[in-house]
Every structure is written in structure tokens, then in C-alpha cells.
Amino acid sequence: MKKVIPIEVKPAAARAPAPQFAGGTLVDTRARTMHDLRISVTDRCNFRCVYCMPRETFGADHPFLPYSAILTFEEITRLARIFVGLGVQKIRLTGGEPLVRRQVHRLVAMLAELGVEITLTTNGSLLAKQARLLKQAGLHRVTVSLDSLDDATFRAMNDADFPVAKVVDAIEVAAAEGLTPVKINTVVKRGVNDQDILRMAERWRGTGHIVRFIEYMDVGSSNGWRMDDVVPSAEVVRRISERWPLEPADANYTGEVAERWRYVDGGGEIGVISSVTQAFCSTCTRMRLSTEGSLFTCLFAQSGHDLKTLVRGGASDEDIRNEIAAVWQRRADRYSEIRTEQTAKQRKVEMSYIGG
């Protein structure tokens, strides 16, 4: 069984205090502002999706983080408040599978008081039971990962023998509770589920939900990524448009990850996320907070920045604010612009730890 090699996180105690942040708009070395914060609330998941947490690496003896190592809801909320003060306007809860963390709706309620958009990405397995609590707590929307409508294909990809029908039902429950529009993320891997592209598009046309097709990416170091497995977004758009003509739609905001396409006949829209073939590094506005309180400035990062030591060591909000600002101001990430078969083999943080 493969083992995950720990990612380097330089302890805060080993670093000199960050310089005072002067205020104003926070930008990095490429003039990108910070708009989104993605928070991984757990490194655990009840699925073993082949592109994220393959079972040969994340098996029964995998050493997940102990509860004492992960940030408490109060610690997450404190950090989120500081991020909002630095310009963050949207917070997404991720994992792992965020709904396996007990009473995560309490965290949603705490974050909702910050006055920014709160969303959550889930595999949908526990969503039907928790949708009402999440909505009542203040969650605005959910994104559900669903890679195929074919039950055998879906079970093979989640590697947990979980039926697709339960995820589809959960999407409808979430919509009925007002967590709309529901976004449905489909990671497309050639020869595995690309035959289901048209079926996915047809199922969600006219429903108000938005299916987003994601190019298979080299996240982490354990999913065996190869360029040959990638179905380019341009091909996805072409396949769908040949059946139901599409036209491009404007982005909802600068730095939006998905490229939007709408059906000419008014049947709604789809999205494509093209990190491999059409890199969007130049407009990336996302910061990531890991399960145990480390900052990562890129999904494909090789190292992180410890905040938990500051939080638990008595640092003031101003000290933490200065640290976060300094990390962002040094940021120069452009991994997807320089990706090659060689860089894809580099050791990178696993998505279940950093949050997708």
C-alpha cells in the first residue's frame, strides 16, 4: 500500500514575525486579489474516489489527523473573520467530505454571521439528511460531486459501492430546501466516464441546476495522472453543442473558475473547468486553509504556511492578519501554466487535506 508523504509546513515559531500590513487592497506578485477562501474541515471521507483518495493510498490503516490536531469551529471562524477583513467575499467548506464532520451546520451558522457567501462542496452521500439544517444555519448553496449517472461507473469511481440514485435524490432534496442553484461537478476521465457527458448534460438541462465538467487533474501525488486521460473542455463543449447548441456566457465575477456556456434554446447552462488545457492562473483569487490550520496558495502546492501555532499560541488578530497578508503578497503561483508530464510527478499536497 502506498503511503502519503507529509507536505512541508514551516512552523510559525520558526519564522520571523510578518511585517505590518499597510492596508488597502491586498494583491500578490501578479496583481491578483484575494476573493475566495476554501476551508477543509476534515481530511476524512466515506468515498475513495480514484482521482482524489485512491484506496491503495488511503486504506484502512491510513493515519488520518487526530481530532486534537484539526481546527475547532471557533478557531476556523476566528480565521475566517480575519480573511473577510482582508477582502474575502466567499467561503467554501470542503474536505475530505465536510458532512462527515459532526455538527458542521454549527460552523455554517457561525460563519454566516460574517456576512459573506457561504457554500459547501459534498459528495452528496449525507446531504439529504443535513440539507435542511444547513439551509437553516445560513448556507447559501451546495456543489455536489457526481461523476456519472451510470450506476456501475459511479460505484467504480467512488470505490465505496455507493449508488448514484441516492446522490441524485440528495440533489433534489437540497434544491427543495433552497440551496440553489445546485452545482454538479463531474470530473471527466477518458475511457472511464466520458461516454456519460451527454447523459449528464441532458439530465440537468431545464432543471435550474448547473453541471460543470472538470478536466481530470494531477491533484496530489497518488492518483496516477496522465495527460492521455484528460478530456479537454473544448471537446466536452463540442460534444454537447452538437446535440444542443451552446453559446458562451459572461463570467459572474472576475476569477470565476468555471467557463460558462448556455443553451441557445434557453435550457439553462453548463460550465467547464479547464485547469489543464486552458490555465486560469492569471485570474486565480483563491486561498486555502487546511484541516489543521495551514495556508496553501495553490491547489497544486508543495508546501504550506502554519497558522495554527499562531492561533493556539496567543497571537493577536493583527499578528495573524499580518501573516496572512504577507503570504498572499509573496504569492506567485502559476502551476497550471507550466504543467508538464514531469511537473505532474512532483510531490504535491493531497486534495483531501487541502480542500478542492
Q: Per mean pLDDT, which of 7-16, 43-52, 184-193 is the most reliable? A: 184-193
* Residue 352 pLDDT greater than 80, yes or no: no
Q: What is the pLDDT of residues 168-197, one digit of tens each?
A: 999 999 999 999 999 999 999 999 999 999
| 1 lies in some domain | no
Predicted local confidence at residue 159, as pLDDT: 92
* Residue 96 pLDDT greater than 50, yes or no: yes
Residue 35 belongs to what domain range? 8-354
User: Which DSSP string corresponds to 49-115?
Assistant: -TTTS-TTTS-TT--PPPGGGSPPHHHHHHHHHHHHHTT--EEEEESS-GGGSTTHHHHHHHHHTT-
Print burial letters for 298-312: b (CB count within 10 Å at least 16), e (below 16). Answer: bbbbeebbbbbbbbe
Q: What is the pLDDT of residues 251-296, one digit of tens each?
A: 988 788 899 999 999 999 999 999 888 888 889 999 999 999 999 9
| 95 lies in some domain | yes
Residues 6+ apart with CB under 8 A from 309: 11, 12, 13
Percent of the chain with pLDDT over 70: 88
Predicted local confidence at residue 5, as pLDDT: 45
Query: Average pLDDT in the 318-324 region?
Result: 97
| 325 lies in some domain | yes
**Mean pLDDT of all residues in the chain?**
90
Predicted local confidence at residue 213, as pLDDT: 98
Q: What is the pLDDT of residues 145-164, one digit of tens each?
A: 999 999 999 999 899 999 99
| 335 lies in some domain | yes
Number of compact structural domains in the chain: 1
Angle between helices 73-85 and 104-112 (to 10 degrees): 30
Predicted local confidence at residue 1, as pLDDT: 46
| 3 lies in some domain | no
CB 86 within 8 A of CB 321: yes
Query: Average pLDDT in the 237-250 region?
Result: 98
Q: Which letter does DSSP use for residue 229 in this model?
A: G
| 2 lies in some domain | no
- Report the range of poorest mean pLDDT among 14-18, 103-107, 116-120, 297-301: 14-18
CA distance linking residue 305 with residue 193, whole number of Å? 36
E strand or H helix at 133: helix 127-137
| 215 lies in some domain | yes
CATH number, domain containing residue 346: 3.20.20.70
